[in-house]
Amino acid sequence: MQDPYFVQVDTAELADLTRALELLDAEAPLNDRYRKMLAESRDQLAAPQIRLTQARGLAKRLMVLIKAAGPDFPGTLAADGLETLNAGKAQANDLVFRPEEA
């Protein structure tokens, strides 16, 4: 297995993660600290490629932001929003907990 620090990931492959972050930005009741995390995430995702380690960091960041939105947040979303959030969570889980498949 290659060193993940040197493996590049096309940000286009992180579309589910990106859409979930955008959903949180638009819908979640987050404070300024978390909004800053969202802005930093968008900046990283603007590049055509990022390191796999950065992609994993973004995945972990998504998990933190979902928790910060509160346990009731998913229930406030319409069906398409919930689907977007779940797809982002699934991609984040794959990046964090199944790195050999990423």
pLDDT digits (tens, 9 = 90+) for 18-31: 999 999 999 999 99
Mean pLDDT, residues 76-83 taken together: 96
User: 88 pLDDT exceeds 70?
Assistant: yes
Provide the whole-model pTM.
0.89
pLDDT digits (tens, 9 = 90+) for 46-75: 999 999 999 999 999 999 999 999 999 999
Q: What ranges do the domains of the chain cover?
A: 8-97
Following DSSP, what letter does each residue of the chain receive, concatenated? ---TTT-EEEGGGGHHHHHHHHHHHHH----HHHHHHHHHHHHHHTSSEEEHHHHHHHHHHHHHHHHHH-TTGGGGS-HHHHHHHHHHHHHHHHHHH-GGG-
As a whole number of angstroms, the distance between CA 6 and CA 52 comes to: 8
